[in-house]
């Protein structure tokens, strides 16, 4: 197969391939971006594989960075662009199911592509548009089949994360696992115990955000990979219920976690521990806790002023978007208008502050200040009192705050 036209990102990189070839080496575009071109999807990275060894690459290009030279990868800087150039290589046995004991550089493209995970990721592309396909990946792409390169058991023993990657591709592409590949995942899923949570997290979230999330989650459960993911061992049935929700793609990671937590029926005080197990950042945990709080209230009724104020506009809209999965049409315009009509959007907009309270009351500083400000804040948001200092002082005095 030969492409008539390369995407602009590849055309810009052709001089890099030409320079390697003029020096007597082979050079090809490789990796997931070649697959994405064939699927007419947006490409994100331009990766190059070559028969040139790392030191030979560095001699050809004046500006390079050793980003993984022990594995054959050199970052080449050309004008404003940068390209990862990796030497063809074979790999030894994998003792930890994550990394090869050692890497051996070779001059053969086919030997290099043999170590790829799936056939649809094992293409090479020449600068003239010619597709190199040693493993019948084009046929698998056409049939929408995800098949491991060579022996699937060997591929998954080399890097057990490939099982999660396979399920992620099922979710993202809507492809079906080839039978032997599916069986190999079912038989070897306990190897995921050897993989860091951080690496599993990346693939898991991509799976949840996939356009075919439903089939991805079902495959995740059927292969029993969920058993070796943090906090999910007892939730096979809940995950299947999750897969039965409308298959519309989720927009953000925080919404994906929120909907998952809802389907697992976790309590709000369990959210932090669950996400900590997944090694999520504190920022992500804080955002998800906020969305879970909002969703629990929105499922019962439209968000009131206090909840909108607590959530903030962005989080409130994210919560409202999730109502689609519960059979309701999200009322995004209404929520935005309700939020915009709030008298204040933050404590900083309150017409009084602690210093003014001290002056007005003549009292000594103490906990009563924060309590009074909170009472005033809630009253203004609920439209019980106008956000003016004199009226707020009257309101607080009536409520025996000072």
Residue 272: HSE in the Cβ half-sphere, 13 Å Cα cutoff: 5
CB-count burial class (<10 Å; 0-12, 13-18, 19+) for 151: exposed
The answer to whether 45 is a known ligand-binding residue is yes
The answer to whether 47 is a known ligand-binding residue is yes
Distance CA 338, CA 370 (A): 27
Separation in Å, CA 173 to CA 42, 98, 223:
13, 25, 18
The answer to whether 35 is a known ligand-binding residue is yes
Distance CA 293, CA 270 (A): 12
Distance CA 326, CA 288 (A): 18
Q: Are 229 and 200 in contact (CB under 8 A)?
A: yes
The answer to whether 390 is a known ligand-binding residue is no
Alpha helices (runs of H) in 299-346, residue ranges in sequence order: 305-311, 313-322, 332-340
Distance CA 50, CA 105 (A): 10
Per-residue burial over 156-193, b if 16 or more Cβ lie within 10 Å, else e, is: bbbbbbbbbbbbbbbbbbebbbbeebbebbeebbebbe
The answer to whether 96 is a known ligand-binding residue is no
Residue given tokens 């697959």 in the structure block:
35
Residue given tokens 């907009």 in the structure block:
349
CB-count burial class (<10 Å; 0-12, 13-18, 19+) for 384: exposed
Binding site, annotated residues? 32, 35, 45, 47, 116, 159, 162, 165, 168
Binding site, annotated residues for ATP? 32, 35, 116, 159, 162, 165, 168
Binding site, annotated residues for Mg(2+)? 45, 47
Binding site, annotated residues for CTP? 32, 35, 116, 159, 162, 165, 168
């Amino acid at each position: 197969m030969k492409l008539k036209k390369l995407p602009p990102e590849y055309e810009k990189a052709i001089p890099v391939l030409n320079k390697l070839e003029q020096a007597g080496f082979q050079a090809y575009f490789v990796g997931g971006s070649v697959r994405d071109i064939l699927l007419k999807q947006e490409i994100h990275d331009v990766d190059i594989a070559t028969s040139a060894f790392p030191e030979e690459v560095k001699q050809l290009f004046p500006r390079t960075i050793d980003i993984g030279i022990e594995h054959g990868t050199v970052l080449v800087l050309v004008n404003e662009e940068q390209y990862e150039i990796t030497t063809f290589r074979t790999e030894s046995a994998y003792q930890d199911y994550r990394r090869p004991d050692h890497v051996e550089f070779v001059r053969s493209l086919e030997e290099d592509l043999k170590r790829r995970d799936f056939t649809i990721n094992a293409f090479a592309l020449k600068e003239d548009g010619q597709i190199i396909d040693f493993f019948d990946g084009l046929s698998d792409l056409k049939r929408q089949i995800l098949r491991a390169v060579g022996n699937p058991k060997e591929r998954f023993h080399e890097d057990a994360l490939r099982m999660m990657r396979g399920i992620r591709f099922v979710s993202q592409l809507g492809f079906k696992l080839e039978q032997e590949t599916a069986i190999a995942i079912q038989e070897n899923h306990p190897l995921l115990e050897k993989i860091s949570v951080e690496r599993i997290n990346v693939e898991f979230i991509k799976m949840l955000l996939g356009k075919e999330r439903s089939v991805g989650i079902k495959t995740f459960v059927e292969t029993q990979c969920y058993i070796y993911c943090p906090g999910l061992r007892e939730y096979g049935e809940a995950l299947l219920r999750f897969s039965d929700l409308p298959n519309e793609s989720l927009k953000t990671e925080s919404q994906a976690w929120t909907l998952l937590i809802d389907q697992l029926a976790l309590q709000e005080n369990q959210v932090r521990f669950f996400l900590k197990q997944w090694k999520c950042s504190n920022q992500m945990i804080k955002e998800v806790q906020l969305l879970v709080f909002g969703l629990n209230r929105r499922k019962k009724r439209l968000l009131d002023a206090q909840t909108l104020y607590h959530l903030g506009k962005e989080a409130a809209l994210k919560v409202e978007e999730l109502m689609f999965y519960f059979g309701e049409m999200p009322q995004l315009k209404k929520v935005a208008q309700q939020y915009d009509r709030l008298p204040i959007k933050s404590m900083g907009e309150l017409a009084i502050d602690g210093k003014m309270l001290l002056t007005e009351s003549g009292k000594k500083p103490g906990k009563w200040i924060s309590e009074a400000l909170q009472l005033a804040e809630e009253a203004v948001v609920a439209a019980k009192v106008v956000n003016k200092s004199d009226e707020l002082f009257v309101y607080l005095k009536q409520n025996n705050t000072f």
